[in-house]
């Protein structure tokens, strides 16, 4: 019997170091500008659920990501490690982002903004995967995210026919502009310059919400994929976050427009300006004026249309004005 207990003791002593360490989600910090608390979302799973990945290096990980997201709504993914991360890649709906890695209180943190687009997202299960490399060894985390429908309101608008249906002579122009816009929206650069909450581009009232099911002259059209702000002619429009101007144009639908790359797949867009005051390649700071509001393009009056693209998907910007990182991960 003594030999049996001795054998069990030795076996436990040998196996125990191989068991992944379970760590709490409190007390870590992020890079400057983010909250320092680490609160897991209510339906997130931590490193304990990824034991097979953690055990490959003997490191402790915390993966914070939602189990449910609404159609069109942005969400955050955050991976934390107690060991230096060589690299992290996050894969979502056929797109990849390699997020910046921050170090705070000896914890290594990768944070990414993701989402779906009300234009084409469907309710159902989607796979999120995160691949983290430590000392050349890859650890893969997988999460099933349930995309759920959102009952966005209907909006009926009566507009002149020429505003709704473009004449044939501008179709080539629209097609050429669409190529430039798609390229800008899908920009993914390695350095993250954004932080939450975003700055509002103008202080005017929001007059049209994201996701509105628009009916123009009684016919269903694409949903509204941004926010409309009340903004008088010539009012300064400010960058929502630090970034680089990647496109300035005068487009058929959006009028005079500015696109700003904020890094890691996040791009903000500002439409219907009377005058852009930045040029492509300019580095801009959060709160810096990038143009003046107007009513160029297909607009019935002065206002700002503001959109946010995440890996090419236009998401609802409103939660990004209201929430810190930790608030979005609760």
Q: What DSSP letter does each residue of 293-325 carry, written as one string?
A: EB--SS-SSSEEEEEEEETTEEE--HHHHH--H
- Distance, first Cα to last Cα, the chain: 51
| Of 173 and 13, the one with more pLDDT | 173
Q: How is 73-94 classified by DSSP, letter by letter?
A: -EEEEEEEESS--SEEEEEETT
| pLDDT band at 128; cut points 50, 70, 90 | very high
Residues 40 and 138 in one domain: yes
Residues 126, 31, single domain; the answer is yes
Residues 225 and 188 reside in one and the same domain: yes
Cα distance between residue 196 and residue 179, in whole Å: 30
Residue 330 within a domain: no
Q: What is the CA radius of gyration of the chain?
A: 23
Number of domains, the chain: 2
Residue 329 is assigned to a structural domain of this protein: no
The model carries a pTM of 0.83
Residue 198 has pLDDT above 60, yes or no: yes
Domain span including residue 39: 2-150
pLDDT tens-digit series, residues 9-60: 444 444 433 333 222 222 112 222 223 333 334 444 333 334 334 444 556 8
Residue at a domain's end among 88, 117, 150? 150
3-state secondary structure 94-147: CEEECCCEEEECCEEEEEEEEECCCCCCCCEEEEEEEEEEECCEEEEEEEEEEE
| Residue 187 and residue 252 in one domain | yes
């Amino acid at each position: 019997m003594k030999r049996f207990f001795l054998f069990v003791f030795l076996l436990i002593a040998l196996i125990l170091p191989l068991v992944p360490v379970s760590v709490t989600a409190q007390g870590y910090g992020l890079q400057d500008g983010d909250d320092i608390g680490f609160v897991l979302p209510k339906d997130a799973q931590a490193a304990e659920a990824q034991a097979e990945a953690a055990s490959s290096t003997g490191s402790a990980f915390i993966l914070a990501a939602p189990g449910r997201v609404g159609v069109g709504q942005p969400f955050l993914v955050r991976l934390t490690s107690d060991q230096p991360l060589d690299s992290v890649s996050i894969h979502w709906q056929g797109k990849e982002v390699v997020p910046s890695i921050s170090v705070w209180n000896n914890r290594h943190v990768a944070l990414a903004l993701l989402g779906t687009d009300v234009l084409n997202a469907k309710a159902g299960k989607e796979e999120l995967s995160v691949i983290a490399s430590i000392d050349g060894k890859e650890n893969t985390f997988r999460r099933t995210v349930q995309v759920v429908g959102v009952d966005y309101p209907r909006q009926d608008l009566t507009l002149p026919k020429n505003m709704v249906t473009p004449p044939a002579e501008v179709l080539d122009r629209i097609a050429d502009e669409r190529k430039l816009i798609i390229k800008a929206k899908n920009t993914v650069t390695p350095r993250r310059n954004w932080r939450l909450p975003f700055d509002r581009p103008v202080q005017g009232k929001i007059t049209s919400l994201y996701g509105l099911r628009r009916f123009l002259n009684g016919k269903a059209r694409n949903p509204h994929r941004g926010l409309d702000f009340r903004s008088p002619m010539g009012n300064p429009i400010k960058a929502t976050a630090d970034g680089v101007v990647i496109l300035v144009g005068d487009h058929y639908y959006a009028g005079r427009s500015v696109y700003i790359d904020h890094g890691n797949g996040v791009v903000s867009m500002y439409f219907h300006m009377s005058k852009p005051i930045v040029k492509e390649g300019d580095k801009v700071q959060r709160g810096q004026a990038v143009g003046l509001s107007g009513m160029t393009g297909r607009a019935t009056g002065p206002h700002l249309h503001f959109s946010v693209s995440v890996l090419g998907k236009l998401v609802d910007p409103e939660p990004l004005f209201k929430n810190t990182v930790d608030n979005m991960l609760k």
